[in-house]
Structure 1
Amino acid sequence: MRRGKSGWTLLFLLLVGLILGGFVGDLLGRFFKELSYAQVIGMNNPLTLDLNFLKFSFMLTFKINIGTVIGLILAIYSYYKM
């Protein structure tokens, strides 16, 4: 087994890359209009299950911009450089 290179490490780095990349992409998008382009993928209306005493709503949406793509690439690169 490789030391320090587990699937959990990769998952953690990918999540951090997505979150930080999205934040940086939104921040820099205010100054550079080319970086503000984002694609939203997901559901428009939530899926609702009403059981009369309990109500569940589920909605999943992804917002991908240039920063999230760069964050993912950096996360994968840092994983393989460990």
Structure 2
Amino acid sequence: LTATGPVLNVLPLGIHIAAQETLPQLATRLAAQLKKMRRHQRYDAEQIVRDSGRAAGEEPLFGPVLNIKVFDYQLDIPGVQA
């Protein structure tokens, strides 16, 4: 894969949020799910649609999209505890 600019791939992730789950627990669980999904990052959205047997114009395969950029360093903002 060669790209000259930013590239975005859509990977479906179904999320269930339990009422008693804290934000740190949710973040930890989602981080683990995202790590597992990375092995499928070359399986693009168009291929998912084709493999699902959907025709053009049918109901969308997925709904809201959240764009996440994972960084391998900690962001420190003065006065903000994270």
Instruction: Write 1 or 2 for the structure with the bigger share of strand.
Output: 1
Do they fold alike, i.e. is TM over 0.5?
A: no
Greater fraction helix: 1
Give the number of the structure whose alpha-carbon radius of gyration is greater.
Answer: 1
TM-score between the two structures when normalised by the length of structure 1: 0.26
Give the structure, 1 or 2, with the largest relative contact order (CA under 8 Å, sep 6 or more): 1
